[in-house]
């Protein structure tokens, strides 16, 4: 455990940020799962709705610094590619 006051504060801050990052990542995972389930089912309307939500959650995570912006863009691009393939069928 840290002895210096500023180090103790940093430990608290890091714990808060870690908790926030975990919460944000869980929201992203839930949104992606919902999208992938809709794609598996072949439901285009449901997949479009889930894609909008998933994209929103991923970009919010990137804006907050949980994900790097390029990682977020790549993930959204891959999800959109799956959606487009589903629409093409």
Q: Which two tokens stand for residue 40?
A: 């598996």
**What is the Cα–Cα distance from 44 to 42, expressed in whole angstroms?**
6
Percent of the chain past pLDDT 90, that is, above it, reads 96
Percent of the chain past pLDDT 70, that is, above it, reads 100
- pLDDT at residue 4, rounded to an integer: 94
Express each pLDDT in 16-27 by its tens digit. 999 999 999 999
Residues 6 or more apart whose CB falls under 8 angstroms from that of 9 comprise none
Q: Which two tokens stand for residue 67?
A: 């994900």
Question: Considering the chain, what is the average pLDDT of its residues?
Answer: 96
Question: Model-level pTM?
Answer: 0.88
């Amino acid at each position: 455990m840290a002895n210096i006051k500023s180090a103790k504060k940093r430990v608290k801050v890091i714990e808060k940020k870690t908790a926030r990052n975990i919460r944000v990542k869980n929201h992203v995972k839930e949104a992606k799962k919902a999208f992938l389930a809709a794609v598996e089912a072949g439901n285009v309307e449901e997949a479009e709705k889930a894609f909008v939500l998933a994209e929103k959650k991923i970009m919010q995570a990137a804006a907050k610094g949980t994900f790097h912006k390029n990682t977020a863009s790549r993930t959204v691009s891959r999800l959109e590619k799956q959606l487009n393939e589903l629409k093409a069928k």
